[in-house]
């Protein structure tokens, strides 16, 4: 079952990549924070404006909160996210010389940063072996029976780490995110031509 799943992921996404746009470490961290309850496409539109208007960490740290809220409104929860952007920028400048730390425990103390955000950041920017679980990963793994419907994200993460080779965690995460985003969608999944339909627990609901 796993080999079939992995082969299909490799067929669909031989060279998966993160779809968030960034050029600096803090831009990636902020983009991941902004992606909560939003889409990468929408986040990219917002960060394009955000990082052009405030090109430096000092600019973001000193930015007017209402101006940030105006820019971030399209990604939802913009009051909180504007506050996160300012606080993250200030913290990086004053405690870490403007560099995003690699330490997981330290990152957990950043506003708006949780386990998924850290896993995505460390995997993407520092190429560490991490397996991040977002809504797409959770949905796909539950539909395929790799995780139970009652499993929380931490349990799903642990199960996925056991199923996939450690050196492939980052790549598999990206592949499953893309599979969930474009094929195994929450609404109207593309089941008709899916090569995993015979092992999918949800197949009867979608035909």
The CATH number of whichever domain residue 171 belongs to comes to 1.10.1670.10
Quote the pTM value.
0.92
Distance between CA atoms of residues 109 and 184, nearest Å:
34
- For residues 198 and 110, state if they share a domain: no
CA dihedral 79, 84, 90, 91 (to 10 degrees): 150
* CB contact at 8 A, 80 and 9: no
DSSP string, 116-142: HHHHHHHHHHS--------HHHHHHHH
Q: Which of 170, 186, 141, 126 is nearest to 15 (CA)?
A: 170
Q: What pLDDT, in 10s, does the model give residues 107-135?
A: 999 999 999 999 999 999 999 999 999 99
Q: Report the pLDDT value the prediction gives residue 201, as an integer from 0 to 100.
A: 85
Distance between CA atoms of residues 99 and 55, nearest Å:
15
Q: What pLDDT, in 10s, does the model give residues 64-104?
A: 999 999 999 999 999 999 999 999 999 999 999 999 999 99
Our answer to whether residue 134 is catalytic in this structure is: yes
* Secondary structure element (H or E) that encloses residue 62, with its range: helix 57-62
- For residues 50 and 108, state if they share a domain: yes
Domain boundary among 78, 95, 125: 125
What's the CATH number where 49 sits?
Answer: 1.10.340.30
Q: What pLDDT, in 10s, does the model give residues 146-178?
A: 999 999 999 999 999 999 999 999 999 999 999
pLDDT band at 205 (very low <50, low <70, confident <90, very high): low
| 207 pLDDT more than 80 | no
- For residues 68 and 9, state if they share a domain: no
| 202 pLDDT more than 90 | no
State the residue range of the domain holding 68: 25-125
Distance between CA atoms of residues 189 and 172, nearest Å:
20
- For residues 114 and 160, state if they share a domain: no
Distance between CA atoms of residues 151 and 182, nearest Å:
23
- For residues 57 and 96, state if they share a domain: yes
Pick 152 or 204 by higher pLDDT.
Answer: 152
Tally the domains of the chain: 2
Burial of 162 (0-12, 13-18, 19+ CB in 10 A): exposed
Distance between CA atoms of residues 197 and 204, nearest Å:
9
Catalytic residue among 7, 134, 148, 149: 134
Q: What pLDDT, in 10s, does the model give residues 2-56?
A: 999 999 999 999 999 999 999 999 999 999 999 998 999 999 999 999 999 999 9
Q: Report the pLDDT value the prediction gives residue 206, as an integer from 0 to 100.
A: 46
Catalytic residue among 25, 116, 188, 198: 116
Distance between CA atoms of residues 172 and 160, nearest Å:
9
């Amino acid at each position: 079952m796993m080999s079939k799943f992995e082969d299909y992921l490799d067929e669909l996404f031989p060279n998966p990549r993160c779809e968030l746009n960034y050029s600096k470490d803090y831009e990636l961290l902020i983009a991941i924070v902004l992606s909560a309850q939003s889409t990468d496409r929408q986040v990219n539109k917002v960060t394009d404006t955000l990082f052009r208007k405030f090109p430096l960490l000092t600019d973001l740290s000193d930015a007017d909160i209402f101006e940030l809220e105006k820019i971030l409104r399209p990604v939802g929860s913009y009051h909180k996210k504007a506050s996160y952007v300012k606080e993250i920028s200030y913290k990086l400048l004053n405690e870490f010389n403007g560099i995003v730390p690699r330490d997981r425990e330290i990152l957990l103390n950043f506003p708006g940063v949780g386990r998924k955000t850290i896993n995505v950041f460390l995997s993407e920017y520092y190429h560490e072996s991490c397996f991040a679980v977002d809504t797409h990963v959770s949905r796909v793994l539950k539909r395929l029976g790799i995780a139970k419907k009652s499993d929380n994200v931490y349990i799903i993460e642990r199960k996925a780490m056991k199923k996939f080779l450690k050196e492939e965690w980052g790549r598999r995460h990206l592949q499953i995110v893309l599979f969930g985003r474009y094929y195994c969608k929450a609404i109207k999944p593309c089941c008709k031509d899916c090569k995993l339909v015979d092992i999918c627990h949800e197949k009867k609901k979608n035909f």
